[in-house]
Structure 1
Amino acid sequence: MDKQSLKISDFDYNLPTELIAQTPLEPRDASRLLVVQRTSGTMEHRHFRDIGDYLRPGDLLVANQSRVIPARLLGKRAETGGAVEVLLLAERPDLGQDCWEALVRPGRRLREGAMILFNDERDAPRLQGEVMERTEAGGRVLRFSTYGNSEPTNAADPYSLLNVRQLIDELGRMPLPPYIHEKLNDPERYQTVYARIRGSAAAPTAGLHFTPQLLEQLRQQGVRVGFVTLHVGLDTFRPVECEDVSEHKMHSEEIDLDAPTAELIRETRAAGGRVVAVGTTTMRVLESVAGFHNGQIEPFHGHTSLFITPGFHFQAVDALITNFHLPRSTLLLLVSAFMGKGLMEKAYQEAIEQRYRFFSFGDAMLLL
């Protein structure tokens, strides 16, 4: 299928609102699992804890170890006191220390030079952000500093000794997607159990289903596990708004594939095992690196703006674990590319009929 001829309206579907999962299931691996064989089109209904039944000794799971930061900051304009909501997307050390790319609301009034103050629970300002510039995608670059950082620190005040990153952790909130309306009682439930490198504005949600016990069970079974890093950024929050898919501009995201994981992938492929991507972010890391190195997997640290759509030639990934994605999203296009659009539509229809739970806290698919 030619990207030029793709229309985003062809990747729409109707989802009953009550199927949008509002809270995570306990335990994590109790979620349902729709197992789809891509060649035959057969489907089975299982639970995530059964995933070992479909993995073989010598297979390799590759997962995204990015950790979500409390990226949602509620502040006030220094000049007017008007409320401002900031969603941090990516740190930008290339633009200076403590600079972040962010979405801001209301955006229209926040021009270059505007100052935003972020207060603690006593309503005292602790952190300030200056609007440096607009981004192409309509966001802002903010430069943060501790409030009144010219004043001497007060050892009796726990906030006064914190740097910008620590203040963001203290004052920020977990950036749950806008379709989740329930309060999350335990913020760790929006982290994978292996999340360790901080930087994401949203969780790589396919990995939320794993428990330490399930990972250990798979290792005992002879399945190996490797990790990559992609800090989930702007495109998670942006639907494809142009009808012609080829006009959609993917935002660049930082990715990292280290030497031990590259070696694991090469060993797995040489021995005839399968590379199983945990989530669309992992898929984009692996296929980006393969694309940069003529199909080979080498260590890589840099950026990718790879946009996977139907017709894409996969070179690195043999199977995919993924959640159910929003209509008209880049992630739905990726899944359609991997399993075929017709089979994607059948699988999603089956999931809706069987009352699967959708989106970030929802159920999963295993595409073999």
Structure 2
Amino acid sequence: MRRSDFDYVLPPELIAQHPAERRSASRLLHVGPGDVLDDRQMTDLPDLLAPGDLLVFNDTRVIPARVFGIKPTGGRVEILVERVLDAQEFLAQLGASKKPKPGSQILVGADERLTVMGREDDLFRLRYEGADGVMAFLERAGQMPLPPYIAHAPSAEDRERYQTIFAREPGAVAAPTAGLHFDTPLLEALRARGIATATLTLHIGAGTFQPVRVENISEHRMHAEWYRIDAPLCAAIEAARARGGRVVAVGTTVTRALESAALEQGRERTVAPISGETRLFITPGFRFRIIDRLLTNFHLPQSTLLMLVCAFGGRERMLRAYDHAVAQRYRFFSYGDAMLIDPV
């Protein structure tokens, strides 16, 4: 298939620049069986699920991954962390008029230094020279890595709202945005309805914002992202299967983690504990082994995320749903509204 097969026209004013006043105040487009399109609210979600269903969330926490520094020559460098490797080193994208050479240093603030260790594909390996480690350095010097389509500088509001209420495992440089719609009252309503919840971890990298640059999508290569599925989630999936419940993935990252595990383990409908890296690129024709329904935000045209959504819900059906969402003035992308998708 071709990249242009996943295009749609989006008026720029529909790109949400700020979150809804309350997390669960977002709108929800239910893409039901066949061509059913039902305009709802996130607070209707309990009624759209059944007792015994299982919602799976990503508990990754966004780190302040955007840092600005100066080269010894005085040139400005923008650093976007892709992945923290250990206590001192990390991979990053660098924005500079001239890329720094291995062995050179980048000054951050008055007295903190990063050493360029080398390149790994299109990323740079950097070493933080302070004693307290990379994570403490980023908390001190970094900014929230808002997506490029959000025009304002990161604020205190973004520090809170560009995190899910489940966020507990630091390491992501982008939020698992489908989870941003959940707050305590909504979770209480789901529990009262008999709907279970569980979590996994997938640390989203900056590659999530990288466009597909090739027209033939089979030539696209995903960046690696680390994920972990623990025993409690595996038991929750088995329990949901036993009672006839459905596994509802909250977001594309949950989908990729669960389906990566199933592929790696050669399993169907259940998974075992696992941790590792995934480069899984889900496109139409993929056979889903674990997830039964998908809750997700509206994604960029021609993006890998939209391709995943089309793989699950059908390309023509999803593009019709996107056209409907545009016509009904839904809010798009990270701070936008959501859709609940039944399979084709």
- TM-score for the superposition, normalised by structure 2: 0.96
What residue is the counterpart of 1:158 in the other structure? none
Q: Does 1:331 align with 2:316?
A: no
Match of 1:132 among 110, 113, 117: 117
Show structure 2 runs of 5+ residues with no match: none
Task: Select which of 257, 262, 268 maps to 2:229.
Answer: 257
Following superposition, the deviation at residue 113 of structure 1 comes to 1.2
Cα distance in 2 between the residues matched to 1:276 and 1:241: 31
Which residue among 173, 176, 180 is the counterpart of 2:146?
Answer: 176
For 1:105 and 1:99, how far apart are their aligned partners in 2? 18
**Residue 92 (str. 1) matches residue 92 (str. 2):** no
Q: 1:272-320 deviations in whole A, cap 9, x for unaligned? A: 1000000000000111111112224111111111110000000100001
Question: Which digits, 9 at most, give the CA deviation of each residue in 1:201-244, with x for residues without a partner?
Answer: 10000000000121122112110100000000132121110001
Contact 2:88–2:133 (8 Å) recurs in 1: no
Letter aligned with residue 24 of structure 2: D
Task: Select which of 113, 118, 132 maps to 2:108.
Answer: 118
Of 9, 18, 34, which residue of structure 2 is paired with 1:14?
9
Answering whether residue 93 of structure 2 is matched by residue 103 of structure 1, we say: yes
Larger deviation, residues 230-239 vs 338-347: 230-239
Task: Name the aligned partner's letter for residue 58 of structure 1.
Answer: G
CA contact (8 A) 1:202 1:232 kept: yes
Name the SS for the 2:235 alignment partner: helix
Shift of 1:13: 1.4
Partner residue in 2 for 1:357: 331
Query: Deviations for 1:80-126, whole angstroms, at most 9, x for unmatched residues?
Result: 12111000111123xxx41111000017421211211110xxxx22x
The equivalent residue for 2:295 is 321
Match of 2:63 in 1: 69
Question: In structure 2, how many angstroms separate the alpha carbons of the residues matched to 1:293 and 1:312?
Answer: 16
**Contact 2:203–2:226 (CA<8 Å) still a contact in 1?**
yes
Query: Which whole-Å CA distance do the structure 1 matches of 2:123 and 2:74 have between them?
Result: 21
The amino acid across from 2:108 in the alignment is F
Q: Deviations over 1:148-173 (max 9, x none)?
A: x6xxxxxxxxxxxx544212101100
Instruction: Verify the 8 A CA contact 1:324 1:358 in the aligned structure 2.
Output: yes
Partner of 2:283: 309
In the alignment, the residues of structure 2 paired with residue 21 and residue 228 of structure 1 have an alpha-carbon distance, to the nearest angstrom, of 27
Partner of 1:281: 253
| 2: CA distance, partners of 1:350 / 1:273 | 30
- Number of the residue aligned with 2:272: 298
Superposed CA RMSD in Å reads: 1.2
AA in 2 matched with 1:229: T
Note the C-alpha offset of 1:191.
Answer: 0.1
Alignment CA distance shift 1:107-1:69 (3 Å)? farther
Aligned partner of 1:57 in structure 2 is 51
Structure exhibiting the larger radius of gyration computed from Cα positions: 1
Distance across 2 between alignment mates of 1:185 and 1:70? 12
- Tell me the residue number matched to 1:82: 75
Opposite residue 285 of structure 2, the aligned amino acid is: G
Query: How many Å separate the matches in 1 of 2:14 and 2:31?
Result: 20
Shift of 1:40: 1.7
Q: How far apart, in 1, do the equivalents of 2:302 and 2:138 lie?
A: 32
Q: Please, what TM-score do these two structures have when normalized by structure 1?
A: 0.90
* Matched AA of 2:116: V
- What is the CA–CA distance in structure 2 between the aligned matches of 1:366 and 1:254, rounded to whole Å? 26
Provide the aligned length of Structure 1 versus Structure 2. 338
